[in-house]
């Protein structure tokens, strides 16, 4: 297995036209593969607009099974282009049971594994608890032909426990398909604080686990269908770091972009030897982490 791998993250805006969104994603994958990427990460729920701005039963029509149309399409692309693709979809597991799910397609076109989003937000404009049942697959890396992928999704990126458990299970990369943006009523200084916190949190996961991070976010303004707010300005800023949290590539906040970075897996080995966090963990005193709160 090669020690250096080129990875790509495809950041783009979305519209109400599902076919248009799919075409944009497919073209991005083909371009990334043409430029040598072997691991290609897509943003969260890239097939449609971010429908969780409102609670509407009609939006369940967007859900699909696994395997299904999306996994078939991206599986065929993965095989044709000899790449690994991390896609994101609205999974219909059963009538009345849905998940926000990431699927990894390996170079043979087969589903290497799935991850169901574990942490589900419920905030103004992000009403995900209406749509998604929390994941039940745990924090298990997905084995692929290019290594073990620790795939998490959006809100998961704020929780150090999720990144740590993936690292403890042998993940070689931490990957976050994302859909996050600004409330347009917030002042600019607050918007900057939120963006900075988002980047800092994920860079910290890279540092504390000695692993590269790939965070792929959508960009562009999407209207609130209810008209009760100004909608969401997704802030883009997708980025890729090395195992010390160093920025290897960073996208803008308002452009469709494909980010590329060469990841040297030997650096994770070297960094972990210098900063042996796993060695020095005091698991004999961490029992209270299993409590919701220490009263």
Residues tagged active-site: 44, 117, 154
DSSP code at position 135: P
The neighbour count for residue 286, using CB atoms within 10 Å, is 9
Taking the C-alpha atoms of residue 26 and residue 23, their distance in angstroms, rounded to an integer, is: 5
The number of beta carbons lying within 10 Å of the beta carbon of residue 240 is 27
Residue 4 burial class via C-beta count within 10 angstroms: exposed 0-12, middle 13-18, buried 19 and up: exposed
Q: Which helix (H) or strand (E) holds 89?
A: strand 84-94
240, 249 in Cβ contact below 8 A?
yes
CB-based contact 242:263 (threshold 8 Å): yes
- CA dist 57 and 31 (Å) reads 36
Prior bond of 67 cis (ω within 30°): yes
Q: How many CB atoms lie within 10 A of CB 98?
A: 21
């Amino acid at each position: 297995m090669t020690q250096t791998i080129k990875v790509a993250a495809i950041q783009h805006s979305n519209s109400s036209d599902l076919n248009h969104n799919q075409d944009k994603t497919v073209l991005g994958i083909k371009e990334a593969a043409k430029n040598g990427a072997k691991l290609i990460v897509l943003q969260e729920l890239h097939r449609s607009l971010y429908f969780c701005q409102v609670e509407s039963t009609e939006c369940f029509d967007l859900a699909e099974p696994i395997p299904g149309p999306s996994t078939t399409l991206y599986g065929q692309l993965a095989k044709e282009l000899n790449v690994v693709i991390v896609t994101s979809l609205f999974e219909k597991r059963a009538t009345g049971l849905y998940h926000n799910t990431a699927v990894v397609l390996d170079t043979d076109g087969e589903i290497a594994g799935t991850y169901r989003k574990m942490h589900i937000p419920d905030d103004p404009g992000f009403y995900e608890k209406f749509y998604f049942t929390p994941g039940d697959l745990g924090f298990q890396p997905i084995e692929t032909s290019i290594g073990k992928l620790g795939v998490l999704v959006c809100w998961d990126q704020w929780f150090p426990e999720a990144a740590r458990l993936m690292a403890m299970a042998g993940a070689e990369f931490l990957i976050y398909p994302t859909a996050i943006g600004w409330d347009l009523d917030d002042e600019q200084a607050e918007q900057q604080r939120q963006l900075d916190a988002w980047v800092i949190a994920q860079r910290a996961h890279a540092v504390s686990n000695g692993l590269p991070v790939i965070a792929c976010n959508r960009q562009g303004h999407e209207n609130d269908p209810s008209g009760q707010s100004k909608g969401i300005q997704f802030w883009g800023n997708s980025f890729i770091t090395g195992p010390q949290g160093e920025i290897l590539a960073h996208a803008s906040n308002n452009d469709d972009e494909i980010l590329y970075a060469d990841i040297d897996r030997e650096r994770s080995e070297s960094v972990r030897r210098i900063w042996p966090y796993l060695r020095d963990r005091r698991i004999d005193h961490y029992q209270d982490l299993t409590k919701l709160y220490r009263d």
